[in-house]
Structures are given as C-alpha cells and as structure tokens.
Structure 1
C-alpha cells in the first residue's frame, strides 16, 4: 500500500505536524508514505527525522510513478489541495482519494466572506474562484463536489459527521502530540522565563494559535480575561504565539503593557518550550457553529504538558472531567474565563493535580501510532469497497 498525503501548505502549522507524525507511524507499520506540498518539500525535518518521501507538486509530477494500491489522502478540501489532488490523479490513473476534514469548511468560508463590507466579500469570492487568495481556503461549490466524488473521508471531530455525504465511509480520529511533551517537567521552566523577563512569582498563561475570522472573538475574549485578572492585581503574564490572518486591532496589548509577549514567529518545534514555561493553558471558545465542529490540535499537547488547562465549552470538552483533568467554563465569557483562571491561581495544589491528571488522560487517549493502525485498516477497507463497486 502507498499513501500519498497532499497538504494545502508546506510543512508548517498543525496540518504539517499531523501528516509528519501519521506518516512516520504508518511507515513503522509497513505502509509506504509520500507527502506532497505546494512549494518547499524540505521542511519536514523540523519535526524530527521523516521516514517517508516528500515532494513538491512540481517534482511529484515528474518523479511519482503509478503503483498498485495507491491512495491519496487529501488534507482538507481547500482549493490548493483539491487542484493538486486532481492533477496527481490524472497522472496516476484515477486512483482513489480520501478527504480529511479539520474544520467545518462552510463556517470558515462564511466567516471569511462575511467579514468586512459587502464589496470586500464579493472581491474575496472572486479571488477564491479565479485568483489566489492570501490564505488556503475552500472554493465555494468546488470543494463540495470534491467531497462528493471522494472514496471516503476522515474527520478530526465527531461534530463533522454532518459534512459527510451519505453513504460515504468515514473514520474519526483526534490529533495526538509529540512524545517529548509528555516528558516536560512538572515545574515551570525558569530559564526561558528569565529570558522573557518573567519572575518565578508570576503566573504565565501561554496561548499558541493563529487567529482568523472564525476564532477572532474567542481569542479576543482571552485577551480580555487576562486584562481582567491584571485589573484585580494578579501577577499574570500572557505569552501569545501565532500569526494573525485577520485585522486584529484591539486595546488589550497596550493595556497589558509589559505583561504581554507576542511571539508570531516561534517555529512549531519550539512550542513545547513555551508550554514548559507556563503555569496555565487556556483553550477559549464557546459552543456555536464553528466550535461545535472542531477539535483544537493544541488540546492534546496542552493536556500532555501537565499544565492545568482551562477550556470553554466547545465540542472538544466531551470526555473531559471538569475539576479533575481540566477546568471547563460552561458559559464562557471573558469574566467567567478570568474567574476560572483566578481559582487556579489561588490554589497551586489544585492546579498541579489537574495538570497531572490531564497528562494521564492524554496518555490514555491520544496516540499517533494507534491513529496509524486505525488508518491502515481504513485504507484497506477503501480498496475493498472500491473493488466491490467496480464489480457491481
């Protein structure tokens, strides 16, 4: 069997991390893997030693040969992935393809098209269909047809099952995280804190995540929660890692002053270092169209780090136990988020125990190798299903 992962971007961000670890785990099970990206194919080694081949799409056109039992795993139906998948299928003889969903593409698309003026929305729709948008996004209409013609789908969250056309086979698996995160010391890393001019007495909240139109309000709520805590006299420091893909002007960075560190260019492989410097990790977000259909890739890493995790009430909290392995804010607002964090600040022992329980939960629930075993079986079932369809 030969699995060809096609990613909408190069080896960066959560998607690149997921493909890297899944491909390595599949290779350990005897499955041949290749990853194809739009541009630079040399970035996979930032996550470790890749045991699979990597190609840019231009190189894949020249060097990737047709083989028996090949399948494309298209990482999301974004327009870049769709066009690369169709190009490869023409070269490789119409091999089966599976579409992976990380988010509800429709809610992301609506958030992108609906932000700003009506004229801007029309211009963005035009660019999605005929030009090159700045961000990898699905193209209206085309991405739905791409899903409908797929042989199967994989999903990152239960809530995405409604996006699967009947009777398309599908598999749900959650992301996992690197083994090194499970080995982070329980005590905060004071060396990195000193480099950031953070004292041992400060409470550090770290949030690694990009902002876009769909999660902008959630991240703003976290900024405001930190500001509320500072207003109460709490010695809180906020480290924010990630890029802003939307206009993100807000007063809180200025209000937080020296309590705020914005680090947009931290490489993915360095994020565990910043988790190690934290005391509390927060996954903001209220139940709704966007958060009911996702599973944040950072959550397994948060839990595995043994830091106390505070979370909003998105669909990802199913299975977590409030007060045992996480703190779940059932009606998340900036004020209630601040209250939940404040309780942990006041009770270091509770904070430590929740963090350790979270690590145990992550160890039992999130494994790249287990995901790879299930995927290998799923790929085999896709080939079997396709043969039956051809015969009938």
Structure 2
C-alpha cells in the first residue's frame, strides 16, 4: 500500500503508525505542520500562508491547496489518513474529493479543551466526516462524540503501547519513600493544580511522599508558585518535558501514576503505566474509565476534587499489597486490550477492507 499520513510528525503515535506500516513493506509519506524527521520516510511541511492581507492571502490559500493536492497526487496514495482535525478552510480544499480518506480525531480537535463540551457547530468536522470513507476514534467516549457530527460508523482503534518497552522491572532505589508521577502537559485540562493541592493533604499524614511532575506547559510558573506557597518544595519535583524513550526508566521507581484530568479523550500515559504494573489514580472523565478498571487496576475519583484524590492515594500508600495486586491486574488488562501490534493490525485491516471494496482501488 501507499499511505499518506497527515499528522503531527513530532508525536510518538505518528512515529509508531509510520514504523508499523513501513515494517510491513508499505510506502509512506507524511505531511506535517512540523518538519520533524521520521526514519524511513519523507516528511513534507504543509504549504505556508505568509501574507496578512486578505486579498493576497485568499490566493495563497488557493495556491497552497493546489500545491498540496499536486504533491499528494504525485505520490499516488491508496490511503490518505488524517490524524487530528485542524480547522482551516484550506484543509477542506485539500481534502475535497480525496479517495479513500480516513479521519481520526484525537480529542481536543472535537471537544473544547476547557469546558469538555462537544463543539456542535463545526462545519469543518462535519465536512471531513462526510468526505471520509472510514472514521476511527481512540476510545468509545471519543467515538460517541464523533457521532454528533456524522451518521457514519465510527471504528474504535485505541492507541496501543509497546509492552516490551513498557514492562515491569525491579526498582532501582528500594526505599520507604512512596513516589507518585504525573506525566502530562501542564495545562488546565489535565488538572495538575488539583494534584498539588491533594499533595498538601497527603504530606500532612505521610511526609516522605514524593511527586514527580513530568511535562512542560503554560502553567509551570503558576504551579511552582503554588507548590512553594503550600510548603511542598521538598515533596514535589518539576522535571520538565522528557523524551518518550526516557519514560520507562523514569517509571521504574514510581509507586503510583496519577491522572487528575478535567477531561481526557483516551489517556495513553495511564496505559503505559499499567503496562509497567503501576496502579493508576485517575478521574472518571472521558475515556479514562475504559482504560482504568476502578478498584481493579486503579482507583477513579471525581475531577476537580483534591480531597478524593488524596483519599485514594493514601489508601494505596497504606496498602502496598493492594498496590502490587492492582499493578499486576493492570498489566494483564493492557496485554489483553492495548498491545500496540494488535491495535495497529486493526487499522491495517480497515485499510485493506477499503481497498478490497468496490471502488477502493486507485
């Protein structure tokens, strides 16, 4: 197959899709807003709009649409797959009449980041879903949201994890300190403030508890100030963003993974943690209840609730055997539903079914 991905080349998910299909002898082309190289394939930047003058800008948009379509047609793809929906009129011109178009929303492209409400008046989304041969979503929650824009079937193909990379290992530092981890961008929708406030309640009872905050974002200065104001600088470490390949090493010394999101489309970081036999404390929002089994692989709490977060974390601090049992159940659950190879194969099957259907060939 010849597959054209329109996706963020920086994303680990994009890199995994490319790797999977390259390894199976397919030809891949990636169009991205970011010129991040991906081994084995060509990454082309989206044509840029430069002028601020609308009378000139509209011609640039039309020119760029023509350039994009020319480049795609030159590649002669069997499949064009959009990962994440960007709201741009040029995009609509690019995708108009594209054969065998797959559309995969990732979350914030179909849900408002802060209100977590469905964006009901989106011409862009409805247009793309009408053009699509196949629509996929990473969770049943996102599939239900997508159905507000289309009557077409929405296939659920989760983000899987590499269970050979994310696997349980012996802890490096065996101490009595209980270590928590938060791995997300530092944004309002991921709820880091509520975790920091929960830490003030936890430390009051278990002063040796540590929290690693991994990620960058616009809230960092504000969160560091809150940490200092609550007297938690000895308990909370801000590590900044790290490479995805560094994450398994960091998680080796983590006792609990915490995801206090206000909303979450899927939550792949929680799946990675469970693959390493780490129990997850998370909020019961969006797609999280699909990936964290409440009381079995972790504990789910209400969003925006530091008290519930603290209570759940303290429960597992006081019950190391329960932590261990939840961790083992978590890995079993991931192996049964979220192995990367299995989920990529689902997408492969969808590609082939379209190509084998009437009118599917170029």
Once the 2 structures are TM-superposed, how far is the Cα of residue 40 of structure 1 from its aligned partner? 2.0
**Equivalent residue number for residue 111 of structure 2:** 107
Contact 1:312/1:330 (<8 A) preserved:
yes
Distance 2:218 2:126 in 1: 24
Q: Which runs of 5+ in 2 are unaligned?
A: 49-66
Answering whether residue 194 of structure 2 is matched by residue 226 of structure 1, we say no
The alignment status of 1:145 with 2:118, answered yes or no, reads: no
SS at match of 2:111: helix
C-alpha distance after superposition, 1:23-68 (max 9, x if no partner): 22223344332322223232x3xxxxx4444333469969766355
Q: How large is the Cα RMSD of the aligned pairs?
A: 3.4
- The CA deviation string for residues 149-197 of structure 1, in whole angstroms up to 9 with x for no partner, is 333211011122332344434321111123344334142x33xxxxxxx
User: Partner of 1:209 in structure 2?
Assistant: 184
Q: Which among 252, 257, 264 is matched to residue 276 of structure 1?
A: 252
Which ranges of structure 1 fall in alignment gaps of 5 or more residues? Answer: 45-49, 114-138, 191-198
Choose the corresponding residue for 2:166, options 159, 182, 191.
182
How far residue 342 of structure 1 moved from its aligned partner, in angstroms, is 0.9
Q: Specify the alignment match of 1:47 in structure 2.
A: none
Residues 27, 38 of structure 1: alpha-carbon distance in 2 compared, 3 angstrom cutoff: same
Q: Which one of the candidate residues 7, 10, 13 is aligned to 1:18?
A: 13
Matched with 1:133 is none
Say which of 137, 160, 163 aligns to 1:155: 137
> In the aligned structure 2, how far is the partner of 1:246 from the partner of 1:18?
25
Task: Give a deviation string over 1:258-305, Cα, whole Å, max 9, x none.
Answer: 21111223222212222112111112236xxx44xx111212101011
Query: Normalising by structure 1, what TM-score?
Result: 0.74
How many residue pairs end up in the alignment? 335
More helix by percentage? 1
Q: From the superposition, tell whether residues 168 and 57 of structure 1 become closer, same or farther in structure 2 (CA, over 3 Å).
A: same
Equivalent in the alignment of 1:117: none
Aligned to 1:41: 36
Query: Which residue of the partner structure matches residue 4 of structure 1?
Result: 4
**TM-score scaled by length of structure 2:** 0.79
Query: Which residue is equivalent to 2:226?
Result: 252
What secondary structure is seen at the aligned counterpart in 2 of 1:23?
helix
